[in-house]
Structures are given as structure tokens and as C-alpha cells.
Amino acid sequence: MSRPFVKHYTSSAARQAAEANYRWLAGLESRLRLPELTAASGPVLWFERIDGRYARPEDLVMLAAHLGDAHGSAYVTDLHQARLNQPYCAGLNHMLPSFPDRRVDAVARELRAGNVSGSGLMSVARAQRLLTEADGPAAFYKDSNPRNFLITPGGLPVTIDFDDLTLAPFGYDLAKLIVTLAMTYGALPRGQIAAALSAYNTAAARQCAALPGVTWAELMNWAEIHHILTSRYAADGRYSRRWHEVGPADGETGARTWP
């Protein structure tokens, strides 16, 4: 029998928050694959050990469909009642933070600190407006960077790391995956990103045909927000590239024009 994977947290409260996130995700009855949680105590969670590798660019379209399925299922099961600009009680006393929540202050902090290069949303006011005026159906954000997926030898994705969970617009977590894959491995072909967006929308619509679908412009706007929020991690070496260097070329982003 393989040894369990042990995740240590800074406090019992942080562990309890991650456990609550896990249990909500596990209760969605979606196709989201999670490792089995085997024990919880103090600041520690124990999970079954999963054999697999981290996500790579060739997994993007498959993972996009997987995320679309999970987000559509969460919307049908629970989040159709949620509003993006308000915290949402998901399950028994488990609060999901609103979408703007800490992001409004975070984008201002990063932009004013000079950590961000080449952002099409360089104005603090513009970035904050994009966050605060987001509307439409609510999905969730699970920090879909490549290291938060394990691809099993059979090719199945398993979602790991449950520290962060908030409300988010459809497409926001897909944009995080696209941005961080490119920041890790280099530029992704525009056609591959478009195929991932199509796979995401198709999968979400299978769960709820009324969902409007994410446009290219919306996806690229969320990519700009992730660029702002991840630039510090490129600066300290956790990512080898920056989104403005490896994202779609100028004129192809479809980024929203603000007055």
C-alpha cells in the first residue's frame, strides 16, 4: 500500500478552510476528479497518493473541457443561486468569497508597485472596473495552474490543492490555466487557445444549454487580470516567462476598450 500524501498548513484554521473547499467540490457530483481525503487533524490533511505528472501544454484542450464540465455542473447544482459580487454560502456554513473581494486591492497593489510589464489593463481603475463590473453566471476559481493538476498514466486529470476557492466568472479559471502554461512552457498557438475555449464552452453547455459561452475577448481580459496577479511570481523566478511576452500578439487579444 502506497504512503499517503501529507499536506501541511500554517494553522488548523487554514487546514479547515482547505478541507471545506475539498468537501464542497467533492459534493458537486461533477466529473471533477479529486484524490481521496483519508484523514484530517490539526494543521494537516492526508490524501491518497496519486501517480501522475503535472499538466503540460498538450493537455490544454482536454483540461479545458474538464473545467467546463466542472463549472457547468457546479452552476446547475449550486452556483445558479450565486452572484459574483457577493459572498455565497455554499453548503453548510461554507462561504465562497465574492469575485472582486481581495482581487480589487491586489491588482492595485501590483500595478502601483511596478511589478507588471506590458499589461493592456495597466490603469488601476480599468483593472478594478473589470473586476467589479463582472456579471453573468457564476462559476468557481480553483487556481488552475499546471501544478494543480496531476495527469495519471491513463491520461485522466486529477485536481489537487484546495487552498483557494472563490466565485468567478465562467472562463476565469481557464484563463489562469492558459496564462500559467504559457508562462511555464512558452507561447501557445492561438489556434490551440481557441480550441480550448471551444472545448470549455461546449462542455459547460452540455450541463446547462442556457449558459451564454465565454467569448475570446472575455477570456483575454481575464488573462490580463491573471497577468497582473502573477507577474510577481515571474519576477521571483517561479515562472520563467511573462504573459505579455508569450500571450497572443497585439491586435489578436480582443481586449476590451475602456473609456
Q: What is the pLDDT of residues 106-125, one digit of tens each?
A: 999 999 988 888 777 778 99
Confidence of residue 60 (pLDDT cuts 50, 70, 90): very high
The answer to whether the CB of 137 falls within 8 A of the CB of 75 is: yes
Each residue's pLDDT tens digit, 3-53: 889 999 999 999 999 999 999 999 887 778 999 999 999 999 999 999 999
Please compute the mean of the pLDDT values over residues 227-235 and round it to a whole number: 88
CA distance 30 to 203: 12
Confidence of residue 1 (pLDDT cuts 50, 70, 90): low
Q: Classify 254 in phi/psi space as left (phi over 0), alpha (psi -120 to 50) or beta.
A: left
The predicted structure's pLDDT at residue 250: 53
The predicted structure's pLDDT at residue 114: 85
Nearest to 23 by CA among 73, 80, 71, 94: 94
Each residue's pLDDT tens digit, 145-194: 999 999 999 999 999 999 999 999 999 999 999 999 999 999 999 999 99
Cβ neighbours of 14 (radius 10 Å): 13
Average pLDDT, the chain: 91
The predicted structure's pLDDT at residue 234: 80
